[in-house]
Structure formats: structure tokens, C-alpha cells
Structure 1
Amino acid sequence: MNISLIKKLLNYISPYKKYIFLSIISGIIYIALSLLTPIIIGKGVDYIIYKDNVNFKNLSKVIGVLIAVFLISSIFQLIMTRSTNLLCNKTIKQLRMDIFEKLNKVPLKYIDSNSTGSIINTVINDIETVSDGLIQSFSQLFTGILTIVGTFIFMLTINYKIALVVFFVTPLSLFTASIIAKACYSMFSKQSEIRSELTGLIEELISNQKLVKSFNYEKDALDKFNNINKKLYSYGQKAQFYSAITNPATRFVNGIVYSSVGVFGGILVVKGAISIGNLSAFLSYANQYTKPFNEISGVITELQAAFSSLQRVFNILEEENEIEDPKNAIELENCIGYVELNNVNFSYSKAAPLIENLNLKVKPGEKIAIVGPTGSGKTTLINLLMRFYNINSGEIKIDNINIEKIKRSSVRGLFGMVLQDTFLYQGTIRDNIAYGKPSASMEEVIKAAKKAHAHDFIIKLPQGYNTVLSEDSSLSEGQKQLLSIARVMLSKPSMLILDEATSSIDTRTEIYIQKAFNELMKNKTTFIVAHRLSTIKEADLIIVMDNGKVVEQGNHKELLEKGGFYADLYNSQFEIT
């Protein structure tokens, strides 16, 4: 068991000390009263001397005391269970909050380099597994240990010789359980890893079903699924096997303990060293003493799975955060739009350099088109401007201020982005348009929708602007993109980034949208990532990128006349093959 992992978990549990205190106190009282029961019953047995010789007066008192003990112990058991559940649920709630908050703080590089399905699996399934393990451990493990210690003390007070027999035979149960527990942990760890891999594959296949079907990839997808599923079955079967034999193995050892008490106690009764009532109490204690070992061995399975999951949870929680803004970072709400890149170097991996010594000067209000073949660095440049990634060296300036001296949120607030891939979340159309400006009035939202030519289709929906969007919304890709454009038009940013912003819109609507964009882009520095070169003829400056470098700069006419890389790229889009 990982000690450092337990310490980390205790840091989450420590704020809820009152529940720990309540659980311990009520647990001690509950166990103490439960352990008194066999003695009380033993006294009752001794009052039944033989047929027609029963001390009913004292037996009645014993029954009365027994009922009171049952009632009080039940109350304290309820308090203990309630306190334990509150402790566990509050701890898990905090873990969930922290891991979700962490995912908003980690660099975008972490999200990009890890499977979405794997992250979702950790946030939901792994934390749920930790929750089950915690509740099991705090209830059964805690009460089990108290029962073992308390029972042994009570047995010593009745007859230390029989108590020692129990004490020396019991380690066999612990030894058996510990061997099985190690094998259990190993299998459950592997099972959790494969389950995470399977979750990632399923998420990938479901979210890309159109692609899977269009390429007739169903058989290959099924083969991939079956391969991972076989591994999961194999590890799961082994984990369950070790888990299943834990309880029978310990029960076998416990049976030996119980038999030893019965035989040895019987001999002492014959010799007159112990009464039948006391032997009866001792047999009950022997049963109570061994029972927690069975429960604890059963809990071990839950604990192994919980610690495997907990490790993955802390792996995310201990990821490095995005580099914090300097304490004296500037809050820049508006800007003129002067952008400068000086000797910028960047790579996603040290082994594969991408952008090297990139220099660029953009004047306020200019429309800058960024073109180039796939992998040339177009999207990477946008990521650097938005500070989704930090440059390796050089500097990027906005209005002659290094962006590393401006708050990251402020830098991102200066740009309005419309991407080729639309993002809409589950909520009303009104809320989606007002995503960047939640305080916007309904009139402002409608005005932005009209500018984006989205108003006409919105009012035809059943609830208009109050229509709730979900995964199965019947909106077309073009309609979704119009909503994304309306969102930017509402936020009125200082600068714009357009990445094939009209790619899913019909030609007629695109003409209207382009007019709206022209209005929006007035006096605003705009970066246009272009794949269709025919759409950027009017750009003030076209930056041609290849292998992370600017290979050509100029307007459309100049670059065509030059007959270089851009001219080849432009003409290739109109070649008839």
C-alpha cells in the first residue's frame, strides 16, 4: 500500500475532523456495547441451570439489559455510519471540485497529449471507485479493527489461556489475506489501466461515428475493441479470482480458530475451570473476533481498486499548472492592434522543431491572411498569439507590450475567435450567443444574431432564442457556425482570428456574412487562417508559411506576380486534373 498516497488522501480528509471524531467515539461505544452482549447472554445461560431450575427473576433483568444494549448500540451505529458517509462524501466532493478546477489550470499541451476518454474516465469512474473504497474502508475496516482489539481484551478477562490459543492461530488468516492482497492489487491496477484505454477508444469511436461509417471502418474498430476487451477480461478475471478466494481462505482459517476454542474450552468446562455460560460467551467472541478478518479481506478488493484509481486522480492533480502571470501583469481590456513577433522559436517537442526565428510586424487595422500547406505552422501561430502555448524563445508584443507581461486572460479577451470546428454547449441559444458576454441584454443578442444572419432560423425554432441545444440538436453545421459568428459579433473584441469561419455556410449566406465581417473588421487587426486562397484576395498582407517559417509576404497581386511559393499554392487550387 502506497504510504505517500495515504498521506495525500489524509490531507483531503483532515478538514472534516469533526466527522472523524464523531465516527471514532460513536464507533467505540457501538463496538463496546456489541461486545458486552455475549457476556450478558452468558450470564443468562448460567441462570438456566437445568430443567425446572431457572432463575426467571434474574433472567428477566438480563433480557431487559440486553434490549437496552441493543437499542443504544443501534443509535450509535447510526451516528457512526452517518458520520462516516458525510466524511467520505465531502472528501470525494472536494476531490471532484479540485480535479475539475485542475483541468482548467493545466497547460493546453496536457489536454492535447492525453486521451479525452482517459481524462473523463479518471474524473468520473476513478473518483467513483475511490468513493466506494473510502466508504468501505472507513466503515468496515475501522469497525473491524475496533472489534478485533475489543474482543481480544474481553476474551482475556474471561480466560487468558483460550484467548492465547485464538491469538496464535489468527496470524494464519492475516498471512493468507496479505499474499492474496498483493496479487489483487497488481491485477486491479492493470484492469484500471486497460479500462481507461477502452474508455478512450469508445469515446473516440462514438464521437467520430460518421467518419467510421464513411470509411467502412466498423470491422477494424470492432477488432480494436475486441483486443482491448480481451485484455480487460483477462485482467478482470484474474482480479476477481484473487478477490473471490480471499474470503473463503480466511473463513477456513477462522473455522480452525473457532474449532480450537470449542475443543480447548470444552476441556476446561469438564475440569471446572470455566462455566458453560462463559464458554458460550467465548464462542461468541471467537466468532466476532474472526468475523472482521473476513470483512477486512473483502474490503481489500475495494481498497486495491480504490488506490489504483486514487493514483490516477493524483497524477492529474499533481500536473504542473499553466505558468502563472507575473504579479505585476497588466490588465489590457482594449488595444490599438499593433502586433509584433521577434525571433520567435517554438516546438511542441524538442525533437521536432517547428517555428524558428519567426519575425512579423502587423499594423493596427490590417487584415493578415496566414496561408501555407498542412503542418506549416498556421494554427500554431494562432495558438502562440492566444497564449495557448508559451514560446520557447523570442517575444510577441501587442501594442509594444510583451504578451508575457499581460495577464493571460486579458490577452485572450482581446481576440474574438471563429474556428472551423464550432463549439456550442448544452444551454439555450441565447446563452450560447452570450457566452463571451453573459450580461448582454436580449436586444444585444438579437442584434448580433441579425448581423450574423442567424436570426431568421432562430425564430423558426420551437422556443426561439430559448431553445435548448444538446448533443442531438437538429441544427446544421452551417447554423451552428452562424451562432459562433454571432457570439463574436456580440463580444466586440479588439482583434479577430478567423479560421475558415464560413467553411460550412452556403455561398449566398457567405456573401452576407462577409459583409458583416467587413463591418466588424473595420479598424480591427484581423488574422485569417485561409485554406481557400480565393477568400483572402482583399487581405492587406498575406503571410505564406512553410515548415514554421515565413517564406513570403505581400498582397495577393504582388505574390502572384512574384511567381513563387504562393503563386504555386494558389494555382494548384484551380488546376484541372
Structure 2
Amino acid sequence: MAGVIAATCAFVTLNVAAPKVLGDATDVVVEGVVGGSFNQEKLAALLAAVSVMYLGASVFSWVQGTLTAVAVQRLGYGLRASVEEKLHVLPSGHFDEQHRGDVLSRATNDVDNIAQALNQLLNQLILSLLMLSGALAMMLWLSPVLALIALISVPVSTLITVLVARKSSAHFSGQWASTGELHAQLEEFFTGHEVVKAFGRQEAATARFKAGNDKLCRASARAQYVSGAVQPLMVFVSNLNYIAVAVVGALQVLAGAMTIGGLQAFIQFSRLFSQPMGQIGGMLTLMQSCLVSAGRVFELLDVPEIPPETPPETPPEMPTGMPTGMLTGAARGTAPAPAVAAPAAGPAAASGPAAAAGASSAGRVAFEHVSFGYDPDSPVVQDLCFAVEPGQTVAIVGQTGAGKTTVVNLLMRFYEPDSGRITVDGQDTAELNRDELRSNFGTVLQDSWLFTGTIRDNIEYGRPGADDAAVTAAAQASHVDQFVRALPGGYATMLGNDGDSLSRGQRQLISIARAQLAGRNILVLDEATSSVDSRTEVQIRHAMHRLRQGRTSFVIAHRLSTVRDADLILVMDQGRIVEQGTHQQLINRGGLYRKLYEAQFARREQPKRAQEPGQ
């Protein structure tokens, strides 16, 4: 920017000086005509000087434009980077409340609009202000009387600009808000296009899009119409000013107060003065649009972030060979949690080939009177109390909305408890760095998101840099290898659009292979067998059984067939744990779990039992 200002100053200096030299050349010509002969050498020198000045002005104008483009692109780069960094530190609740399309519009459209507007504004605004100042100084030098006449246009132009700015600001706000809403609609239609077509709602979707598009068009047209009125009004004021200067200047020439060359130079300076005034007025549209987009971007950047990490206290020196989980217990004066040995690596290893890459956590997890709610008056989970020993599998079941997923979100610190505490190996998770805490977890979610890239890339996402043998071993343990080798591209098969070319079950198996390769000590399996056929469900159950061996596992499922072998089953209802125990204990108790179980399996098992021999 310092280079931009320096180049602009040089450009303005040459542009302002040239009319004065050209006026002197005119006076030389007039003197020659009146006197019968003129100084050709002086005229040639003046014209050569003017040519050099305009050439130099062109060079500095190019330098100014180049440096401005560099500065603006770096600014846009910085804004996009800031938005991307912000998205990583926003609380999960923010994404639950916002349309993804609107957030994307702020990160792309609004940032691009800021960059494009600033590219023009910095070029023109600095130039216009300096040109205005230089032209005014020269006019005051040549004729203070004419300069005062020219200055009359300043308050008039300022008043026009302020009045129009007030009117157009609201319309620009509506324009960019409508742009965000339209992008949100497009994002919904794109991700849900199968549902739209399945229910025959294409016409309704088109009508909704048309309404949003019409709203955007009206807001944009109003903003451009109102702000566009500035420049014609400024040109009108400038022309009136030009007429006044020409008439009064001619009278001064007749009175002998000015030379013809001086009047010519003054008229050029008045144009140099009025032209920036019109340009500044014309830049109002860009200014308003840029300010509104900047407001939307900074509104996103100003959203409250996840509370900063609390620096953990320095732990005592760990004795050689002592597991991390035991250290924490010893530091707190409690019994150390037993550590689980990492399973052996290899293609046939139950816990996957990356077990050695697992985190240092032994895997004991405890919830101590934990409560949480998005709204303080409406808790989602209340007074959760349970403990899971290393290597155990805990299943969380219950009806929809019971708070099952919230439990693991609290465990992984996507949300912070309102009261109580959660410990991993005796260490309060609130005292751990979030990234460090989450490095202990492998996750298989209900929606198995796959990234654009090859199948190998998606498996390797669990442990970047893993070699082919480790990736293949994880795929074999997860029943992925058999269907991948049947594909023409094998592991190099490209996936896009969340892996739509694969079935839901195949995508889920790849996500299990990803967790298998990661080799984490604590697993979170969220509805991992939902929406798949029976054969694939069996494969997923086998793959998850291998994955869970030797690891502490949290399984969330509606299908109770996947949790009957769990070491501990938590039955949740309306945010509370109403029952806990093993499958057989809960069946014998005859409570909510038994009702859920009978609702799913009683009708299936009765016909099978009737066909068993000897009954």
C-alpha cells in the first residue's frame, strides 16, 4: 500500500503539472501569433516536457494498478484463511443453527465482492483524493476567484452522496442477505435432489427458487438504481460548475486578469477537480456493496468461539514403563486404571494394523453427574453417572431424542457440560487439549462421509502416510478389500459427491476401515448399521467386532441386535439413564429395555423357535 500511494502521488504530480506546462505552450503560440513570430525551441521543449509527463504518468498508473491488485489479492487470501480458521473453532451448536449455503456464501461470494470492490476503490479513491487536492491547489494558484466558484460544487456533491448512501445501504444489505438465502436453497436442493424427485416436488422446488431469485433480483435492482443516481447528479453539478468557470474566466481574460493559456490551464484543472468528485460519487455503489459484504464476513468472524483451552497443570514425572492412564490415577491419589495391551498388528489382527499408532490413553471413561442443555432451561441430558473400564463396550440405546448422541458429543468435547465432569483415565477432559483428547478416539458415524479422492485416500485419512500394506490390512479386516478389488480401478477408484457411486453399506465399511487404520484406543460407533441390508449388516457387525477388540467402545444403535454382547448397556429416556446393565440383566428386569427389545425381536424369534427340532 505504501508503494500504491507513492506511485499514485507521482502519477498525480505529473498529471497536475502537465496542464500548466501545456498552458505555457499555448501562451507561447498566442504570443507568436500576436507578435508575428514565436520561440519554436521553447515551444518544442514545452511540448516534449508534456509528452514525457504523460508517459511517466502512464507508467506510474500501471505500477499503481499492479501493486493494488497484489495488495487486494493478499487481503482476499487473508480473509478466506481467517474464515476457514474460524470454522474450526466455532462451537458445534453454531452449525446446527445456520444454513450451510449462507455460510459458504459469506466465505466465497462476500469475500470475492470485497476483493473486487477494493481493487477498484483503492485504485480510484486514492487517485481521486490526490487529484482533487492537486487540482485545487493549482486552481487557487492560478485564480482564487475561479477556485471559489469551483468549490461551490463540493457541498452540493457531498449532500447528494450522503442522501443517496442512506437510501442504498438497506438495499445492499437485502441484496447480499438474499444471495446467502439463495445459496442455502441451492445447497438444500443439491444434497436432497433424490428426495425432491422421489416425492415429485420439482415444481415446488422451482417455485421456491424462483421466489428467492426474484427477491434477490429486486433487492439488487433497487440497490443499483438508488446508488446509480449519484453519478448522473454529480455530472450535472460538474457541468454547471464548468459553465460558471468558463463564463467568469472569459470575463477575466477580457479584463486582462488572466491569459488565454492560464484560462485553458484552469479549465483543465477544473475538469481534473470535478472529475474525481463524480468518480467518488460513482464509487458509492462499490462502497456500499463492499461495506455490506464486509459486515457479513466480520459477523461470521465475530461469532463467539469455543472457549480457549485451559493450560493443563504440569504432571509429575512419569516412571519408566508406567501407562498414561495409571499416571493420572496416581497423580490424583486414586487407584490406577488397568491398561489394555495394544493388539498385534497385521492383516489378521482383530484391532487393525494400526494399533501401534493408537493414542496413549488406556481407555477408562467416567461420567460424574453430567448435565447439559442447549438452553439452560431445557436440559438435553441430566445427571449422567456411569463408568467404562478399558477394553469394555458400552451401548447407549433409547428412543429418538433420548440424548444418545449428545453423550458422545460431550465425551469428545463438541459440547461442554453445564455441570459435572467427564474423565478419561482419571483426567478431567476439560483440562485436556481438545485435539489431544480427540486423538484418542476413532469414530464411525451414522452418515459415513467420504471425501473427494480415491478409496485408498479415504481409508488413509485415518492415519496419513500409512503404507499400502497397512491400508490393505485395514480394508481386509473391514470387508472392504473384497468389493474394492472387484472395481475396475481398485483402491485407485475415484470417489466424489460423498461416494454416491457406492452403496450406503460399502461407504460405511470404508469408514470402519478408516477407523481401523487409525488404531485409536476409544471408539465411537454411532448408528453404524442403520439403513443397510441384512447381509451388509452382518459384514458391518463382524467388522465392528474386530474393530472393538481391545478397545473401549461406545456404540449407539437403534438395532439392538448390535449391542446384545455389550459389557454395559445404558438405556436412556428423556435425557436420563433409566437402566443400565448387561443384555440379560436388563431383559430379566423387565423395564424399558425389554420393551424396546420385544418390539424389535419378539415377532421374529417366535416363528424361528417354533421350527426348532424337539419343540
For residue 230 of structure 1, what is the aligned residue in structure 2? 214
Q: CA deviation at 1:35?
A: 0.9
For residue 370 of structure 1, what is the aligned residue in structure 2? 396
Q: In the aligned structure 1, how far is the partner of 2:523 from the partner of 2:6?
A: 63
C-alpha spacing 1:289/1:506, structure 2 compared with 1 (3 Å): same
Q: CA deviation at 1:350?
A: 2.0
For residue 570 of structure 1, what is the aligned residue in structure 2? 597
Q: Conserved in 2, the CA contact under 8 Å of 1:170 and 1:254?
A: no
For residue 113 of structure 2, what is the aligned residue in structure 1? 129
Q: CA deviation at 1:326?
A: 2.0
TM-superposition CA deviations, 1:30-55 (whole Å, max 9, x none): 10100112112212222323497554
1:409 is aligned, of 431, 435, 452, to 435
TM-superposition CA deviations, 1:40-73 (whole Å, max 9, x none): 2212222323497554333222221111111211
C-alpha spacing 1:515/1:475, structure 2 compared with 1 (3 Å): closer
Q: In the aligned structure 1, how far is the partner of 2:603 from the partner of 2:194?
A: 29
Q: Conserved in 2, the CA contact under 8 Å of 1:348 and 1:354?
A: yes
For residue 478 of structure 1, what is the aligned residue in structure 2? 505
Q: CA deviation at 1:501?
A: 1.7
For residue 29 of structure 1, what is the aligned residue in structure 2? 10
1:437 maps to amino acid = R
For residue 343 of structure 2, what is the aligned residue in structure 1? none
1:208 is aligned, of 192, 205, 219, to 192
Q: CA deviation at 1:572?
A: 2.3
Q: Conserved in 2, the CA contact under 8 Å of 1:559 and 1:567?
A: yes
1:497 is aligned, of 507, 510, 524, to 524
For residue 556 of structure 2, what is the aligned residue in structure 1? 529
SS in 2 for 1:365: coil
Does residue 444 of the first structure (1) align with residue 470 of the second (2)?
yes
Does residue 257 of the first structure (1) align with residue 241 of the second (2)?
yes
Q: How many residues were matched structurally?
A: 558
TM-superposition CA deviations, 1:244-299 (whole Å, max 9, x none): 21110110001111111111111111112111111111111111111111211121
SS in 1 for 2:366: strand
For residue 9 of structure 1, what is the aligned residue in structure 2? none
- Runs of 5+ unmatched residues, structure 1: 1-19
Q: Conserved in 2, the CA contact under 8 Å of 1:496 and 1:525?
A: yes
Q: Conserved in 2, the CA contact under 8 Å of 1:453 and 1:509?
A: no
Q: In the aligned structure 2, how far is the partner of 1:62 from the partner of 1:392?
A: 81
**TM-score (normalised: structure 2):** 0.87
1:311 maps to amino acid = G
**TM-score (normalised: structure 1):** 0.92
Q: CA deviation at 1:122?
A: 0.7
2:591 maps to amino acid = G
Q: In the aligned structure 2, how far is the partner of 1:195 from the partner of 1:352?
A: 34
1:545 is aligned, of 568, 572, 577, to 572
Q: CA RMSD in A?
A: 2.1
For residue 312 of structure 1, what is the aligned residue in structure 2? 296
Q: In the aligned structure 2, how far is the partner of 1:397 from the partner of 1:214?
A: 46
2:508 maps to amino acid = Q
For residue 272 of structure 2, what is the aligned residue in structure 1? 288
1:396 is aligned, of 414, 417, 422, to 422
Answer with 130-139 or 441-450: which moved more: 130-139
- Runs of 5+ unmatched residues, structure 2: 316-323, 326-358, 605-615
1:408 maps to amino acid = R
For residue 172 of structure 2, what is the aligned residue in structure 1? 188
2:460 maps to amino acid = A
For residue 544 of structure 2, what is the aligned residue in structure 1? 517
C-alpha spacing 1:462/1:274, structure 2 compared with 1 (3 Å): farther
Does residue 424 of the first structure (1) align with residue 405 of the second (2)?
no
2:40 is aligned, of 48, 51, 56, to 56
Q: CA deviation at 1:488?
A: 0.6
For residue 350 of structure 2, what is the aligned residue in structure 1? none
Q: How does 1:125-164 map to 2 (within 5 A)?
A: 125-164=109-148
1:21 maps to amino acid = A
SS in 2 for 1:544: strand
For residue 337 of structure 2, what is the aligned residue in structure 1? none
1:555 maps to amino acid = T
Q: Conserved in 1, the CA contact under 8 Å of 2:523 and 2:554?
A: yes
For residue 16 of structure 1, what is the aligned residue in structure 2? none
For residue 5 of structure 1, what is the aligned residue in structure 2? none
For residue 457 of structure 1, what is the aligned residue in structure 2? 483
1:87 maps to amino acid = A
Q: Percent identity?
A: 35
Q: Conserved in 1, the CA contact under 8 Å of 2:21 and 2:46?
A: yes
Q: Conserved in 1, the CA contact under 8 Å of 2:525 and 2:555?
A: yes
Q: Conserved in 1, the CA contact under 8 Å of 2:442 and 2:522?
A: yes
C-alpha spacing 1:543/1:454, structure 2 compared with 1 (3 Å): same
1:116 is aligned, of 66, 91, 100, to 100
Does residue 91 of the first structure (1) align with residue 118 of the second (2)?
no
1:177 maps to amino acid = T
TM-superposition CA deviations, 1:160-217 (whole Å, max 9, x none): 1111110123321221122112212221012212221221122122111112222333
Q: Conserved in 1, the CA contact under 8 Å of 2:362 and 2:390?
A: yes
TM-superposition CA deviations, 1:500-535 (whole Å, max 9, x none): 223354433433443332222122221111111222
